[in-house]
Structure 1
């Protein structure tokens, strides 16, 4: 009995944004702890005290990293453009980008034809 093939679904834009924000928050907290601790050891805790100063470093660093990684993870979209949006994207692309895209599509078509030829030769 054949097992059904499961296709993984690509995460949505919102899921990518949340994932980037969470990763950025973790990195930001760590970096804020390191630099905040160094700053406190070097310059002293200041009038607010050790914990308030360190938490300010950590929260501001986490917010900054979180913001930029959330945006960056949405911008860096590795998925293909949906078929219904490809003509629109090609309309606004520069001629250089368009020629590269067309070349890549021709190369992909040649690879598919070669795969089909090899499969028919093997059969």
Structure 2
């Protein structure tokens, strides 16, 4: 039996948490700079800083979660090192015509259909 990695939902949550953390840090920096440069505004420094931090956390969290899911979309069993070694040995294999690419896609779709029918 093959070991299972984290699910797509787990990766989505992990990306959102990483993005949220990065966004909080960026929001703190930008919010602090805005307060120092332009003043705290009518609602005060804490409200201004928290607004910047939450906006940045939501922004980064959204895009990091999408990125984490996109990166995990591949079902390839190759590690990045193995893939780079294959590409280094035969770079011409990476360049294909449209018809070859379409044939490869159809073959993969058929393989996936067969796999899902068995499951």
- Quickly name the TM-score band, shorter chain normalised: 0.5 to 0.7
Q: 1:68 aligned to 63, 74, 77, which one? A: 63
> CA 1:59 to 1:100, structure 2 compared with 1: closer, same or farther past 3 Å?
same
Cα deviation for residue 97 of structure 1 reads 3.2
Residues paired across the two proteins, number: 85
After superposition, give the CA deviation of every residue in 1:62-115 in whole Å (9 maximum; x if it has no partner): 000001111110011264269xxxxxxxxxxx53535788xxxxxxxxxxxxxx
What is the Cα-based RMSD across aligned positions, in Å? 2.5
Alignment gaps of 5+ in structure 1 = 1-5, 83-93, 102-123
Q: Which residue of 1 aligns with 2:16?
A: 21
- Between structure 1 and structure 2, the one with the greater Rg is 1
Q: Does the alignment pair 1:48 with 2:43? A: yes
TM-score by length of 1: 0.60
Alignment gaps of 5+ in structure 2 = 78-97, 106-119
Runs of 4+ aligned structure 1 residues displaced above 2 Å come to 94-101
Cα deviation for residue 21 of structure 1 reads 0.3
TM-score by length of 2: 0.62
Q: 2:101 aligned to 97, 100, 107, which one? A: 97
